[in-house]
Amino acid sequence: MSSNFDSPGRIKCGTVTTPDIAASLADYTGLLGLAVLEDTPVSPSLAAAWGAPASAGRRSVLLGAADGQPAFLRLIEGSTVPGYSPLRSFGWAAYEHSVASCDALYADIKDSIGFTVIGAPKLVPGFDNFIPFQVVGRAGEVLYLNQVLNGAMADLDLPNTLARVDQMFIAILAAPDRAAAVAFHQQALGFEEGQTWTIPYSVINNSFGLPDDTLTAMTMTKTGRLPASEIDQYPAAATPRPCAPGELPPGNAMISFITASLDAVAAPFLTPPERRDGPLYAGRRSATLRGAAGELIELIEA
């Protein structure tokens, strides 16, 4: 399954930095039903590859859906970052996961301590393919949890699942310059530009205290019919992501994509590519770079 799943452009892993990894782990395994696949300290070489040397030695837990696809979510222990609030800064803003039942998951999450619902399940005007709802975790990470009704959109395929929470299929990027971010993902990483929508984006409007009818432009990137990122033009009040010195960004920290060849990437890596072991890397080369919105992008060769 993994060899078929790991096609170029696939989101392989989303990384969340949390100051209370034990509590976050309980949330993700208990409420979201993910399983622990690996629990190990971050090696110095991997921390250096992320441009986060202070993350070396911190606890790292790799999670997956037992009955889902071979895609992962990774929790990394980090420091509390004063001034960090979700959905207010540039970089990875949210991870969009497929779920078996929005109603069942919402019923369990809505009164929980670990996750705060910021958008109850409802159809989005203009999109009848899925029912989404949105939550913020205790580390300030944002998850979009989507029950796919009809996976075939105009130019994208969305994944159905029987798992309580399954693979991330879109990564949400908050950009100061949407066009520049889209161009970087095209020219440096080889993604295609997909559709652009302009909508009243309630999650963003609520975060910045904007009128409900304020419009946000967002552009999809993709590989064929495989979605990758939703790149959002963030408001003028957004700022660069505050970060603890030498550590990964707080909350939604980094996305790992499968790529055909690291040698074909037209952007500088933070450190040279290196082969790594474990369920995520499986002996393949990986390397990390920064995108136009300051986002960390880890690439793993197919």
The identity of residue 129, as a single letter, is N
pLDDT of residue 1: 38
Residue 295 and residue 15 in contact, taking contact as beta carbons nearer than 8 Å: no
What CA–CA distances, in Å, run from 171 to 19, 24, 213? 22, 20, 24
pLDDT of residue 152: 66
* Nearest one of 43, 54, 50, 57 to 13, comparing CA atoms: 50
Please work out, in degrees rounded to the nearest 5, the angle formed at the alpha carbon of residue 265 by the alpha carbons of 142 and 78. 35
Instruction: Provide the 10 A C-beta neighbour count for residue 23.
Output: 15
Please work out, in degrees rounded to the nearest 5, the angle formed at the alpha carbon of residue 231 by the alpha carbons of 71 and 272. 60
- Between β-strands 165-175 and 192-200, what pairing exists: parallel, antiparallel or unpaired? unpaired
- Number of alpha helices (DSSP H) and beta strands (DSSP E) in the chain: 6, 16
Residue 301 and residue 260 in contact, taking contact as beta carbons nearer than 8 Å: yes
- Between β-strands 226-233 and 165-175, what pairing exists: parallel, antiparallel or unpaired? parallel
| Intervals of the chain under pLDDT 50 | 1
- Residue 275: give its domain's CATH number: 3.10.180.10
The identity of residue 121, as a single letter, is P
Residue with tokens 């208990």: 30
Instruction: Provide the 10 A C-beta neighbour count for residue 4.
Output: 8
Domain ranges, residue 84: 2-301
Q: What is the DSSP letter of 127?
A: B
Q: How many Å is the maximal CA-CA distance in the chain?
A: 49
Give me the number of domains the chain comprises: 1
> Which two tokens mark 163?
């798992």
Residue 81 and residue 244 in contact, taking contact as beta carbons nearer than 8 Å: yes
pTM of the model: 0.95
3-state DSSP call for residue 290?
strand
* Nearest one of 37, 40, 41 to 69, comparing CA atoms: 37
pLDDT of residue 191: 98
* Nearest one of 284, 248, 290 to 270, comparing CA atoms: 290
Dihedral of the alpha carbons of 34, 286, 182, 137, in degrees to the nearest 10:
30
Residue 135 and residue 145 in contact, taking contact as beta carbons nearer than 8 Å: yes
DSSP β-bridge partners for residue 142: 136
Residue 60 and residue 276 in contact, taking contact as beta carbons nearer than 8 Å: no
